[in-house]
Amino acid sequence: MQVGDTIYLDYQAATPLDDRVLRVMQAAFATHFANPHAADHVLGWRAAAAIDAAASKVAALFGLQADDVIFTSGASEANAMALNAARAIASQTGRTEVLIGSADHGSIRNEANSSRLTVKHIPLDERGAPDHDKLRAMISDETALVSVIGVNNENGAIAELAAIAALCRSCGVLFHADLAQAPLAMDINLLDLDIPFATISAHKLYGPKGIGALLTGPGVSEFVRPVVMGAGQQGGRRGGTMPTELIVGFGEACRLVSIDGPIERERIASIKDRFVEQLEEKQIANLVGARKDRHPGNALMHFQGQNAADLLARLQPHIAASTQSACSSGTMEPSHVLSAMGIDRGAASECIRFSFGRFSDFRQADRAIAFILNAVGMN
């Protein structure tokens, strides 16, 4: 995707709103403006029906039913609800320990650290994903919740979700997966994987910002605690008037991923691979992390000897990318993900994350290479 003079290579920070999603949202703004909780007239009923239809589309992408979807303001709120479940378990069972991935998203890390529970961090394996074997050794009778990021937002590593879910199930421990980045990287059936809690976000899959969901599997409803009480909407699981138009857009975005996902992932990976190959062949940068079991659009690159922030500044206005996760790139601290991978502060300051997506093409990738060559003085 190109916006004016800028090639957009920051899809893991936010995906552009797909025009097809925009159209269904525009129709919803025009026709479903009534309060979906207004039970006394037909316009309220129609808005509620539109939400139900969208919930079914969201659920279908993950092998669930509409009632398994709790809409939230985004993945951060859904992650907070998962930590609230850990608090509920702690109060019922006395288990006071939470295990989270060393490279998990800041919203999980910060929520866990403020939970008054004992927080331990799961080390990463050589791919930069949570280490399943080390997790096995960490789980104890004190563990209330294990939470891992399914597909990392910085290094693109895909976690062994099936193995981790099976381990947690065998140990009687609740499992939560942050799947915000996962729908564009892999097919996911939460029932088959037996993942009881999962977090998703619309703006990571070509939907609107401001809407996400906590997905719930069988037998965990007793642990759901809302962050927003409101007036008992969504069966008391999350209060507040439901934003019909955002939810309709979310549903359409999920429907499109369910149709195009596998073919789209293959195409995006081929564009990303050529971009990486050119940078490596010209000895400009090297890929950080594993080459397999990785988000198809993720290219976290190490530009040895180049300060990433300075290089990215020289690339403006030509390329939009990130020196680390956009959720934390405004800080002066090094990426906790790269630190957890054993990358020192100096090397971490030389890394840029480029991420490709639905509207990327080979021409944009080749033009981006040309801009990078010029920025590092090789043109």
The pLDDT of 110-135, averaged and rounded, is: 91
The pLDDT of 324-336, averaged and rounded, is: 61
Which residue spans of the chain are classified as CATH 3.90.1150.10? 2-18+262-375
In this prediction, residue 379 carries a pLDDT of 66
Residue-wise pLDDT for 70-84, tens only, equals 999 999 999 998 888
In this prediction, residue 331 carries a pLDDT of 57
pLDDT at 354 over 90: yes
Residue-wise pLDDT for 222-248, tens only, equals 788 888 889 999 989 999 999 999 999
Which residue spans of the chain are classified as CATH 3.40.640.10? 19-255
- Most confident listed range (112-121, 295-304, 335-344): 295-304
The pLDDT of 147-157, averaged and rounded, is: 96
In this prediction, residue 221 carries a pLDDT of 78
The percentage of the chain sitting over the pLDDT mark of 90, rounded to a whole number, equals: 80
In this prediction, residue 82 carries a pLDDT of 86
Confidence of residue 330 (pLDDT cuts 50, 70, 90): low
Strands 212-216 and 197-201: antiparallel
Higher pLDDT, 379 or 330: 379
pLDDT at 327 over 50: no
In this prediction, residue 222 carries a pLDDT of 78
Pick from 24-28, 270-274, 299-303, 341-345: least confident: 341-345
The pLDDT of 157-186, averaged and rounded, is: 96
Confidence of residue 326 (pLDDT cuts 50, 70, 90): very low
pLDDT at 366 over 50: yes
pLDDT at 132 over 80: yes
The pLDDT of 329-342, averaged and rounded, is: 77
What residues act catalytically? 327
Confidence of residue 106 (pLDDT cuts 50, 70, 90): confident
Architecture of the CATH domain 19-255: 3-Layer(aba) Sandwich (3.40)
pLDDT at 33 over 70: yes
For the domain spanning 2-18+262-375, the CATH number is: 3.90.1150.10
